[in-house]
């Protein structure tokens, strides 16, 4: 009991320190040793080494990771498995009547091939001021920041103006069907009273000495498709004029050679204008008037080469990712298939996009099957949570600018936007241009000192919104 009282006093002191740039540090309770103290870098390093590579996921390991600390701290939580090993966890701090805030993270990560990394992807390693490991950016790093903010507020003993919910979910990297989607369908009470949500999808940029914080308010919509081509099978030694494979290749060439037209939707225009404010020269002019700049084919080609993620916000896109044909080299197969990852801008229905796609690959003996599609949605860029984020970070980073981004990839926020929850991609982590390219690639890394500052900033943002007078 004395140890817990001592810890509580220390928590209160650290909680206050986090508002002025300090880092929240937890001491040990019971079997949680001093080596396992919740220092942000130590905790993130430990979390990296929890293998939740999807497939297969095994996110129950992440649930056990968080549950161990929550148990030691006496914080109640609930868990649910959508399938064996596919664990989800959520915890709620009760507060006032204002719409609740959820901190949502996914605990699964994509695979990393050790042959192409400078270190083991699942062994955290610090080199030259950076912490390397799969998930430090996407999104175990943000997840740890959320967890520390949640624990700090839980232990502070301060009354909240609204409920605060922490959720660690499975399967986002494969669509979220064993994670947030499953929780919504099987434990809808986890979302009771939640009006706002913070998730991955936005971050900060150190741009020519200036700080720009991007808050994601919408995202491109995934439309995943399978193209099947049928033809007469036979022996590979006497090819026919046409086969399932040649039909498929013709369709894929048509798709590759007829890209979807460029169009600038209002959220994208707003995002580019926000980026332009910190630039100079022709780039600033082009970004300020992106609708005019895209009329120049040379600009579009150059943007595609230098910033493919920004280019992807200017049109619907399709990536040919999977091909299947014969199981033997000397057999012409009766069916050849391709799977295509398409992402459409969130200004129309997926059914409209599907018709456009079919027209591009039309041909005899071809069929297109929809395997997954989400609904488009855009969150309010002028909500009280947005205002609170801007006020809090503006005070901690004088002169910082804010913009509202459109994510080229998808996150679990599409599920919660469908529930009517104002959902935002947000992290105050500041990156240099190109620094986060290890996401889903090789040598994923985060700058240690800037990450510590981001954890402190994240805690301050959450504290300001749930402890201040009702907004």
Over the chain (471 residues), the average pLDDT of each successive run of 10 is 40 40 35 53 98 98 98 97 98 98 98 96 97 98 98 95 98 96 98 98 86 95 97 95 96 95 96 88 96 97 94 97 97 98 95 96 94 94 97 97 92 96 97 86 97 98 90 60
Given this model, what pLDDT does residue 278 score? 76
* Dihedral angle, C-alpha 453, 458, 460, 464, nearest 10 °: 160
Taken as a whole, the chain contains a residue count of 471
DSSP, res 470: P
Given this model, what pLDDT does residue 1 score? 44
Domains with residue ranges and CATH for the chain? 2-201+411-467 (3.40.630.10), 219-373 (3.30.70.360)
* Dihedral angle, C-alpha 153, 80, 221, 426, nearest 10 °: 10
Given this model, what pLDDT does residue 38 score? 81
Given this model, what pLDDT does residue 416 score? 98
Task: State the greatest distance between any 2 C-alpha atoms of the chain, in Å, as a whole number.
Answer: 84
How is the chain split among helix, strand and coil, in percent rounded to 5? 40, 25, 35
Which tokens hold the place of 386? 């947005």
Cα separation, 63 vs 106, in Å, equals 11
Cα separation, 119 vs 113, in Å, equals 10
* End-to-end alpha carbon distance in the chain: 37
pTM for the whole thing?
Answer: 0.86
Given this model, what pLDDT does residue 471 score? 60
DSSP, res 158: P
Strand-pair category, 210-219 with 401-407: parallel
Which tokens hold the place of 342? 């398409």
Cα separation, 184 vs 397, in Å, equals 37
Q: Is the C-alpha dihedral spanning 388, 394, 395, 397 positive or negative?
A: positive
């Amino acid at each position: 009991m004395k140890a817990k009282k001592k810890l509580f006093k220390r928590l209160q002191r650290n909680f206050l320190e986090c508002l002025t740039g300090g880092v929240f540090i937890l001491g040990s309770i019971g079997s949680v040793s001093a080596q396992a103290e919740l220092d942000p870098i130590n905790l993130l390093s430990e979390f990296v080494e929890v293998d939740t590579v999807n497939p297969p996921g095994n996110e129950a390991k992440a649930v056990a990771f968080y549950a161990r600390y929550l148990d030691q701290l006496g914080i109640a939580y609930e868990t649910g498995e959508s399938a064996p090993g596919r664990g989800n966890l959520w915890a709620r701090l009760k507060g006032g009547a204002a719409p609740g805030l959820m901190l949502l993270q996914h605990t699964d990560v994509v695979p990393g091939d050790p042959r192409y990394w400078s270190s083991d992807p699942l062994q955290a390693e610090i080199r030259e001021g950076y912490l390397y490991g799969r998930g430090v950016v996407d999104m175990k790093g943000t997840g740890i920041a959320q967890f520390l903010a949640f624990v700090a507020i839980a232990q502070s003993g301060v009354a909240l103006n609204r409920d605060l919910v922490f959720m660690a979910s499975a399967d986002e990297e494969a669509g979220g069907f064993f994670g947030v989607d499953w929780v919504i369908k099987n434990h809808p009470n986890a979302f009771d009273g939640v009006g706002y949500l913070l998730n991955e999808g936005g971050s900060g940029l150190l741009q020519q000495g200036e700080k720009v914080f991007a808050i994601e308010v919408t995202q491109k919509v995934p439309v995943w498709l399978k193209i099947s081509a049928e033809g007469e099978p036979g022996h590979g030694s006497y090819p026919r004029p046409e086969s399932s494979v040649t039909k498929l290749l013709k369709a894929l060439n048509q798709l590759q050679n007829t890209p979807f037209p460029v169009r600038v939707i209002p959220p994208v225009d707003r995002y580019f204008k926000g980026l332009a404010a910190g630039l100079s020269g022709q780039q600033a002019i082009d970004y300020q008037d992106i609708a005019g700049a895209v009329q120049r084919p040379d600009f579009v080609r150059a943007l595609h080469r230098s910033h493919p993620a920004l280019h992807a916000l200017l049109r619907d896109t399709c990536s040919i990712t999977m091909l299947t044909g014969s199981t033997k080299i000397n057999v012409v197969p009766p069916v050849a298939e391709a799977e295509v990852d398409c992402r459409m801008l969130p200004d129309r229905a997926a059914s409209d996009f599907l018709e456009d796609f079919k027209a591009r690959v039309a041909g005899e003996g071809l069929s297109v099957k929809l395997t997954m599609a989400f609904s488009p949605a855009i969150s309010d860029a002028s909500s009280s949570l947005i205002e609170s984020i801007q006020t809090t970070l503006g005070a901690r980073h004088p002169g910082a600018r804010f913009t509202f981004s459109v994510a080229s990839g998808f996150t679990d926020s599409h599920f919660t936007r469908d529930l009517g929850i104002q959902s935002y991609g947000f992290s105050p982590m500041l990156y240099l241009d190109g620094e986060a390219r290890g996401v889903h690639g090789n040598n994923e890394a985060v700058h240690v000192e800037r990450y510590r500052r981001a954890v402190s900033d994240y805690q301050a943002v959450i504290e300001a919104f749930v402890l201040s007078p009702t907004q």
